[in-house]
């Protein structure tokens, strides 16, 4: 039987994002900063981080990009369900900017690999940082996050479910054991 | 996407199967999947680097047994923007001119380990014939008078861009329906997505049997213009006509030509499509073709996006023809 452990509830998600927003400002400032969310929940999280950063630095206006990495995946011939390709939009030139790439969960690192490839096709940022709400370990590529909401040790049989209120009606992070997708 | 749970899991999008031979064989859901998939591909063509790696390592042969500029170049751009490797074969300058059969040509290409064939052929049914005989994906780029599915799809996408919907639209397909694969693909696509379709043209060029499918037959162009939300003006296919279909090009223009005068008398503004290449001054006048209601160039832009979507969906589908790579993880877990 799968067992469910609540890792973050609604207020804890907000608290975590507030802390991460502070860390972004501390590490990068807001000059030339652009947040890029990975579709779909990364986009909502990036949007929220951007608004929180603007509260920390009221004079700032943080541009927000969206990345759908479907076309950059390395497993097109082997995936079963054909995913709908989502929107990609990078509203500013990346040349010389600091990009904070935002996703909900970091696991194998393959999505991040694809996202880095895709970003490179839009220009050459000064640097790219990776911010994730949950780092669940299990990397298959040499990818590390720079900003982490929470870290949790997991096995192959676990699943980490992230809900965000914009898409799911509530903020929630749960660890589901014994129920891999 | 094992970590994207938490939200409602949508229904799995339908597969396209191995080939795209015509819109007649597709369901409304499959047509919508292609149109929806084409949307994000529009953006790829607007980037500074117009390329994504989705079809990297795939080899595609464009097998053109008939003259084509727009379709061939559009397919080639679509393939290259998806990072596929492409080879163009035309009937002149290849072994086809030495009498090699279609199947032999295709089998020889397949022996070189290709993944997809895009075929344009003067014979109706050539694409289906090939599709059932080779393992590669086959995409029909126009076969005789049968279908030209990617043209039908790009017309649907252009109409949807303009009106926001296809359902309930009134579309008049005007001119040489008899010789037109574009008309047939449009007809199937429009009917499946819930549009109303009318044919308008000289009686010699309008197959009456289509009335059984619910197509309105409107003999006069003035009446078609009064009825329709959009006109798809077909090219008069002079090269396919034996003598006797129309008295003269000048008379055709006088009776059936889409002219500014005729459009100005319409009760509402019409959207004008044309699959190209245009016979200016015959089926369409220049001031209409270049006018504000013409979406002829957006059609061409959408053509690349639609073809990218078809190539992408066919490459990702067809599990009965492709076994997973050894050592690959089970479905849905290969990603974060």
For B275, the domain range is 149-298
Conformational region of residue B162, where left means phi above 0, alpha means psi within -120 to 50, and beta covers everything else? alpha
The answer to whether B320 faces chain A, any CB pair under 8 Å, is no
CB-closest option in B7, B44, B336 to A105: B336
Q: Do residues B256 and B279 make contact, with C-beta atoms less than 8 angstroms apart?
A: no
- In terms of domains, do B111 and B203 share one? no
- How much is the pTM? 0.85
Give the pLDDT of residue B5: 37
Residue B255 lies in a domain: yes
> Which of B102-116, B283-297, B301-315, B321-335 has the least mean pLDDT?
B321-335
State phi, psi for B233 to the nearest 5 degrees.
Answer: -90, 115
Residue B5 lies in a domain: no
The answer to whether A144 faces chain B, any CB pair under 8 Å, is no
- In terms of domains, do B208 and B128 share one? no
Residue B8 lies in a domain: no
CA dihedral of B305, B309, B311, B312, whole degrees rounded to 10? 130
Conformational region of residue B72, where left means phi above 0, alpha means psi within -120 to 50, and beta covers everything else? alpha
Q: Do residues B206 and B177 make contact, with C-beta atoms less than 8 angstroms apart?
A: yes
- In terms of domains, do B74 and B154 share one? no
Question: Residue B156's closest CA among B251, B55, B21, B295?
Answer: B295
Q: Is B186 exposed, middle or buried (0-12, 13-18, 19+ CB in 10 A)?
A: buried
- In terms of domains, do B136 and B254 share one? no
Question: Residue A159's closest CA among B330, B333, B7, B328?
Answer: B333
| Chain B contacts in chain A segment 68-127 (CB below 8 A) | 68, 70-73, 75-89, 103-112, 117-118, 121-123
Q: Domain with B204 in it: what CATH number?
A: 3.40.50.1370
- In terms of domains, do B225 and B205 share one? yes
Mean pLDDT value across residues B310-318:
80
Q: What domains sit in chain A, N to C, each tagged with a CATH number? A: 10-74+84-154 (3.40.50.2020)
- Does residue B38 or residue A75 have the better pLDDT? B38
Which residues, other chains included, contact B232 with Cβ-Cβ below 8 Å and sequence gap of 6+? B155, B171, B172, B173, B174, B182, B183, B186, B273, B274, B275
- In terms of domains, do B294 and B160 share one? yes
The β-bridge relationship of strands A172-177 and A159-163 is antiparallel
Residue B192 lies in a domain: yes
Quote the DSSP letter at residue B280: B
Query: What are the counts of helices (DSSP H) followed by strands (DSSP E) for chain B?
Result: 11, 9
Q: How distant is the Cα of B217 from the closest Cα of chain A, in angstroms?
A: 38
Quote the DSSP letter at residue B98: G
What is the rounded distance in angstroms from the CA atom of residue B91 to the CA atom of residue B301? 27
Q: Do residues B168 and B195 make contact, with C-beta atoms less than 8 angstroms apart?
A: yes
Residue B78 lies in a domain: yes
- In terms of domains, do B123 and B211 share one? no
Residues of chain A found within 8 Å of residue B322, distances taken between Cβ atoms: 77
- In terms of domains, do B117 and B157 share one? no
- In terms of domains, do B113 and B157 share one? no
- In terms of domains, do B26 and B129 share one? yes
Q: Do residues B97 and B91 make contact, with C-beta atoms less than 8 angstroms apart?
A: yes
Q: Label residue B335 by pLDDT band (50, 70, 90).
A: very low
Residues of chain B found within 8 Å of residue A77, distances taken between Cβ atoms: 315-316, 322, 324-325
Inter-chain residue contact A172 with B1, CB threshold 8 Å: no
Active site (catalytic) residues of B:
70-71, 98, 120, 148
Quote the DSSP letter at residue B212: G
End-to-end CA distance of chain B: 6
| pLDDT at B111 > cutoff 80 | yes
Residue B324 lies in a domain: no
- Does residue B14 or residue B65 have the better pLDDT? B65
Q: How many CA atoms lie within 13 A of B310 on its CB side?
A: 34
Alpha helices in chain B (DSSP H): 28-44, 70-81, 102-111, 126-131, 149-163, 181-192, 221-227, 249-256, 260-264, 286-289, 296-316
Mean pLDDT value across residues B216-233:
97
- In terms of domains, do B184 and B228 share one? yes
Q: Label residue B6 by pLDDT band (50, 70, 90).
A: very low
Collapsing DSSP states into helix, strand and coil, what is residue A155? coil
Q: Label residue B328 by pLDDT band (50, 70, 90).
A: very low
Per the omega criterion (within 30 degrees of 0), is the bond before B277 cis? yes
ipTM of the complex: 0.76
Q: How distant is the Cα of A144 from the closest Cα of chain B, in angstroms?
A: 14
End-to-end CA distance of chain A: 14
Residue B212 lies in a domain: yes
- In terms of domains, do B283 and B311 share one? no
Length of chain A: 181
| pLDDT at A155 > cutoff 70 | yes
Quote the DSSP letter at residue A10: H
Length of chain B: 336
For residue range A8-51, list pLDDT tens digits in order. Answer: 999 999 999 999 999 999 999 999 999 999 998 999 999 999 99
Q: Label residue B19 by pLDDT band (50, 70, 90).
A: very high
Give the pLDDT of residue A38: 96
Q: Do residues B272 and B258 make contact, with C-beta atoms less than 8 angstroms apart?
A: yes
The answer to whether B13 faces chain A, any CB pair under 8 Å, is yes
Domains identified in chain B, total number: 2
Q: Do residues A172 and A157 make contact, with C-beta atoms less than 8 angstroms apart?
A: no
Residue B334 lies in a domain: no
């Amino acid at each position: 039987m799968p067992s469910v452990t609540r890792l973050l509830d609604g207020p804890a998600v907000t608290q975590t994002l507030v802390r991460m927003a502070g860390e972004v400002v501390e590490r990068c400032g807001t000059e030339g900063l652009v947040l890029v969310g990975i579709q779909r929940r990364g986009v909502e999280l990036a949007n929220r981080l951007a608004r929180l950063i603007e509260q920390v630095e009221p004079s700032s206006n943080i541009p927000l990009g969206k990345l759908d990495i479907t076309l950059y995946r390395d497993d097109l011939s082997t995936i079963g369900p054909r995913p709908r390709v989502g929107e990609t939009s990078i509203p500013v030139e990346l040349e010389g900017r600091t990009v904070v790439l935002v996703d909900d969960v970091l696991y194998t690192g393959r999505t991040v690999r694809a996202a880095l490839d895709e970003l490179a096709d839009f220009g050459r940022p000064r640097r790219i940082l990776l911010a994730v709400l949950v780092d669940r370990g299990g990397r298959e590529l040499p990818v590390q996050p720079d900003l982490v909401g929470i870290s949790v040790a997991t096995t192959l049989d676990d699943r980490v479910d992230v809900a965000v209120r914009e898409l799911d009606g509530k903020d929630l992070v749960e660890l589901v054991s014994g129920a891999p997708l | 996407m094992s970590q994207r749970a938490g939200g409602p899991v949508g229904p799995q999008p339908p597969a396209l199967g191995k080939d795209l031979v015509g819109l007649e064989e597709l369901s409304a859901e499959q047509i919508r999947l292609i149109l929806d998939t084409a949307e994000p591909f529009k953006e790829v063509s607007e980037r500074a680097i117009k390329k994504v790696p989705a079809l990297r390592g795939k080899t595609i042969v464009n097998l053109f047994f008939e003259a084509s500029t727009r379709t061939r170049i559009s397919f080639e751009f679509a393939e290259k923007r998806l990072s596929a490797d492409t080879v163009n074969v035309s009937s002149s300058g290849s072994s086809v001119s030495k009498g090699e059969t279609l199947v032999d040509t295709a089998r020889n290409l397949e022996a070189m380990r290709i993944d997809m064939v895009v075929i344009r052929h003067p014979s109706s049914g050539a694409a289906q014939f090939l599709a059932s005989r080779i393992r590669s994906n086959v995409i029909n780029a126009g076969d005789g008078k049968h279908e030209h599915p990617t043209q039908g799809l790009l017309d649907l996408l252009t109409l949807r861009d303009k009106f926001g919907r296809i359902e309930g639209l009134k579309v008049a397909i005007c001119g040489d329906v008899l010789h037109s694969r574009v008309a047939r693909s449009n007809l199937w696509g429009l009917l499946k997505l819930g549009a109303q379709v009318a044919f308008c043209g000289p009686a010699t060029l309008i197959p009456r049997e289509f009335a059984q499918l619910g197509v309105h037959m409107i003999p006069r162009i003035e009446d078609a213009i009064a009825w329709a939300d959009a006109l798809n003006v077909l090219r008069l296919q002079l090269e396919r006509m034996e003598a006797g279909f129309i008295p003269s090009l000048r008379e055709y223009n006088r009776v059936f030509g889409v002219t500014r005068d005729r459009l100005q008398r319409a009760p509402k503004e019409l959207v004008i499509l044309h699959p190209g290449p245009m016979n200016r001054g015959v089926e369409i006048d220049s001031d209409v073709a270049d006018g504000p209601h013409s979406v002829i160039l957006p059609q061409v832009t959408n053509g690349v996006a639609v073809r990218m979507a078809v190539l992408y969906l066919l490459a990702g589908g067809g599990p009965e023809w492709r076994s997973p790579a050894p050592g690959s993880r089970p479905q849905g877990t290969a990603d974060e």
